[in-house]
Amino acid sequence: MQYGPAVRRRKLGAELRALRAEAGLTSGEAASLVGWHQSKVSRIETGRSGVKATDVRLLLEAYGVQDPHLRELLVALAGGDDEHGRHHWWHAYRGLLPPAYRDFISLESQACRVRTLETTVVPGLLQTPEYARAVTRAALGERPEEQVEALVQVRLARQDLLRSKPPLRLSVILDEAVLRRQVGGPEVISGQLRRLLDAARLPQVRLQVLPFASGEHIGLIGPFVILSFPNISDLDVVVLDHLTSSLYLERKEDLQAYTDAFNSLRGQALSVQDSMDFIAGLGDGA
């Protein structure tokens, strides 16, 4: 298990190494092309040191990489602006967001697919403002109201991914406990259930409910998120949230284990239509 920045360095380095090999260059030749010492290229490729976005662009030019989506992804992994020099929107909240959360947002923003099991709260990508506000207050405790509101705005801004072109593909499995927990009170929950139904009708969203009646299941180990990226399957990571940080699993055997777990849970969960009916039934009684 690694923290986000270490995962990004190692995966970015591995992809740069693969691109160098495709270009038919040795590490020494690549270093000469960009005016570096060979050891710097080696440190970047092994993930032993970080790399600036400007350095990534230099290497991509040297390797003749023209694919704009691949370039943008690799620059983002280095923590830089996009290809047009624009800051990522969350940079405006750098003083407010913990590094682990910034790192997660950065990875999420570049993902093409997210699969998540949630056992306690509605995932941030589907929360209403009122629900997000209640969750944020509970997590932060006694904090200034303006700080709470700023974090709510961050959570809502993340949801733009579902409206982007192409939109993020989101697969969600919700434990029944998520739907029954009275976060914010009955009125907030009623609005949140309606939001879930609206989201479930989107073609890019697949929402399933894991009812109490399904009994024991592998999801009892806790919630998790699987992030998948375009062009580079080896970048996929599993994210586990903790109270003060997030941990990332990147080994192939870990990715396979969580992918198998997610697929197993999908089989135990209600179908998409039955899930919508289930949520609608709860909403009628809210």
Whether 88 is covered by a domain: the verdict is no
Same domain for 59 and 165, yes or no, is no
For residue 219, the surrounding DSSP H or E stretch is: none
Same domain for 50 and 180, yes or no, is no
Same domain for 73 and 104, yes or no, is no
Whether 253 is covered by a domain: the verdict is yes
CATH number at residue 19: 1.10.260.40
Please list, residue by residue across 42-63, b when 16 or more beta carbons sit within 10 angstroms of its beta carbon and e when fewer do. bbbbebeebbebebbbbbbebb
pTM: 0.81
Same domain for 22 and 103, yes or no, is no
Number of domain units in the chain: 2
Cβ(116)–Cβ(90) below 8 Å: no
Domain around 60: 5-78
Whether 93 is covered by a domain: the verdict is no
Q: What is the pLDDT along the chain (286 residues), one digit of tens a residue?
A: 344 556 677 778 888 999 999 999 999 999 999 999 999 999 999 888 878 888 999 999 999 999 887 888 788 777 655 544 445 778 788 788 887 788 788 888 888 999 999 999 999 999 999 999 999 999 887 778 898 999 999 999 999 999 988 899 999 999 999 999 999 999 999 999 999 999 999 999 999 999 999 988 888 888 999 999 876 666 788 998 765 567 888 888 999 999 999 999 999 999 999 999 999 999 775 5
Render 87-139 in DSSP notation, one character per residue.
PPGGGGGTTTS-HHHHHHHHHHHH-SEEEEEESSS--GGG--HHHHHHHHHHH
What does the alpha-carbon distance between residue 129 and residue 118 come to, in Å, rounded to a whole number? 18
Same domain for 16 and 104, yes or no, is no
Task: Determine how many CB atoms are found less than 10 A away from the CB of residue 198.
Answer: 11
Same domain for 122 and 243, yes or no, is yes
What does the alpha-carbon distance between residue 68 and residue 87 come to, in Å, rounded to a whole number? 17
CATH number at residue 170: 3.30.870.10
**Cross-strand bridge partners of residue 171:** 115, 206
